[in-house]
Amino acid sequence: MMPSRPCYALPPVRGTYAENAPLKDLVWFRVGGPAQILFRPVDAEDLATLLYAKPAGLPVTVIGVGSNLLIRDGGIPGVVVRLPGTFGKIAAEGTRLRAGAMALDAAVARAAANAGIGGLEFLRGIPGTIGGALRMNAGCYGREIKDVFVEATAIDCSGNILTLKAEDMGFLYRKSGVRADMIFVEAVLQGAASDADQVRSRMSALVEQRESTQPVKAKTGGSTFKNPPGHKAWQLIDEAGCRGLRRGEAQVSEKHCNFLINTGNATAAEIEALGEEVRARVKAKFGIELEWEIKRVGVS
């Protein structure tokens, strides 16, 4: 059980603290309990101050726009960091883009197009922010973050501001090897000079394909499970008889089997239990264990 009130002496900051702060409207599933403490830093130095001076043992969780996140119904103990819009600035530097961690992936793709930079179009098809994309090496349509990554700025659990190069990231399929306690604040991505109209045309084609095959207007968390080697998760789920499967008001999407959706007022417990049922059915039929791609946090 999460304590009803904070039990930590928090350091003074320039940003804001809020106790027992609702989080469900900050995540795409629209489910989940509150943050014991929600912290919105003013800038990277303010965030570093909290991480340096926080009490020993204080759990810290960072969330972006919650596009690939399931917060359990009991909420998140400790401090939840939500970066404000000031961490979402985007600037072109030749054929590179510098983007804050809260910059939406789609906004980065559009900024690249406007600057005549190609190669970042795939970001238009990825929900969420650059910070989350770095953490999970997000990708679609044959490209992923590691293909365009130059460097990132992150703050570790002791408040040190670090610059990470490609060799520090440990990129693998749908994850990075960076320690979980590091919080990304900025990234530099590499593109190539390209005609802006051609870049926009390629992005439009990606958006059309995504909207025709995925439940983009539903309350969902995006792709639920990683593709096992040599297989497509949606196909395994479909062939295991899970298309349209329900648990309470949680459902496996009829449109794309690798998406779980909240059809009304589902609980996080219903969504997670449905996901585990899908995993069990796939394991029973194919002997393949699906790995969650959606990040699940908090207490039940």
To the nearest 10°, report the CA torsion of 215, 277, 61, 41: 20
Is 293 known to be catalytic?
yes
Residue among 135, 223, 279, 281 flagged as catalytic: 223
Residues 6+ apart with CB under 8 A from 205: none
8: phi then psi, degrees, rounded to nearest 5? -115, 145
Given the residues 121, 144, 270, 293, the one annotated as active site: 293
Catalytic residue selected from 72, 82, 135, 174? 174
223 is catalytic: yes
CA-closest candidate to residue 130, choices 67, 186, 206, 48: 186
Closest by CA to 153, choosing from 93, 96, 87, is 87
Give the length of the chain.
300
> 103 near 128, Cβ under 8 Å?
no
Q: Judging by beta carbons within 10 Å of its beta carbon (0-12, 13-18, 19+), is residue 225 exposed, middle or buried?
A: buried
Tokens of 150: 């130059």
Whole-number Cα distances in Å, 190 to 117, 118, 282:
9, 9, 38
Question: Which residues, listed in sequence order, are joined to residue 98 by a DSSP beta bridge?
Answer: 91, 188
Q: Would residue 96 show up in a list of annotated catalytic residues for this protein? A: no
- Contact in structure between 50 and 9 (CB atoms under 8 Å): no
By annotation, the residues acting in catalysis are 174, 223, 293
